[in-house]
Chain A
């Protein structure tokens, strides 16, 4: 008989068929793994960027409301006075490198600069609108870092 096949030939055909099925499957697995790796990398980058941005926003908010905010003693000498803070009203003397250094260490940022009017070094910056000193001039407070 012309198409009579031996058991070994039949086995070879089964393996060949399986190979043709497995090759695209393996290619797809490789493609899926590559895509998953790319997605994970992008997601990690985005999360790191978001984390740094959130830290800068929090630091800027702290500086505006507490760190460099103007404080005044309100009350009488007899009754005792109470320190009152004014958010968004800054004392320019309090915005210095020591403040940035302390906050940068606590936040775990390699670079942090806090400056009035112009942006310092750092991969990302946020700004806040404030009034400064007795003249209450409107100025920008830049918090940069990463």
Chain B
């Protein structure tokens, strides 16, 4: 009888463990970390290919910065992704809170003729 009780206890324990494991596996969802990284790099490459970092200046009236902001707006309208450019002080979603962070990359750009680090952060906008 004692071994029978032990078997039953073991099975109950195993069932609880399996249930908890299945719950945690369900919560994990799909791994899209590589895809998110590629999307962030896409934003960077698109801006680079369009020449948005050439002769970039921090001045608010700078035509290159205006073009960069226009392109960020175009990317947002196409993909729904908000882009925040620290260092260059440009964003496609001014005043909006980013809820779901997609990813970020840091690159060296020339700002007012001097090299400076700029971090490009891409996120899905908050509601």
User: A interface vs B, CB < 8 Å?
Assistant: 21, 24-25, 28-29, 31-32, 35-36, 38-39, 42-43, 46, 49-50, 53, 57, 60-61, 64, 86-89, 126-131, 136, 138-140
Residue of A nearest to B5 (CB): A21
User: B interface vs A, CB < 8 Å?
Assistant: 1, 4, 7-8, 11-12, 14-15, 18-19, 21-22, 25-26, 30-32, 34-35, 38-39, 42-43, 45-46, 49-50, 71, 74-75, 78-79
- Within 8 Å CB of B25, what residues of A? 42-43, 46
Q: Are A87 and B11 in contact (CB under 8 A)?
A: no
- Within 8 Å CB of A126, what residues of B? 35
Q: Are B46 and A32 in contact (CB under 8 A)?
A: no
- Within 8 Å CB of A140, what residues of B? 78-79
Determine the distance from Cα of A122 to Cα of B11 in the docked complex, in whole angstroms. Answer: 43
Q: Are B4 and A28 in contact (CB under 8 A)?
A: no
- Within 8 Å CB of B18, what residues of A? 32, 35-36, 39
Main secondary structure of the interface of A (DSSP, over half): helix
Q: Given A25-B8, A129-B39, A130-B46, are A42 and B22 neighbors across the interface (CB < 8 Å)?
A: yes
- Within 8 Å CB of A42, what residues of B? 22, 25-26
Please count the residue pairs between chain A and chain B whose beta carbons lie under 8 angstroms apart in the complex: 82
Q: Are B15 and A57 in contact (CB under 8 A)?
A: no
- Within 8 Å CB of A43, what residues of B? 25
Q: Are A131 and B46 in contact (CB under 8 A)?
A: yes
Q: Are B22 and A39 in contact (CB under 8 A)?
A: yes
- Within 8 Å CB of B71, what residues of A? 138
Residue of A nearest to B18 (CB): A35
Q: Are B78 and A139 in contact (CB under 8 A)?
A: yes
Q: Are A24 and B8 in contact (CB under 8 A)?
A: yes
Shortest C-beta distance, B16 to chain A (Å), equals: 11
Contact of A128 among B14, B26, B38 (CB under 8 A): B38
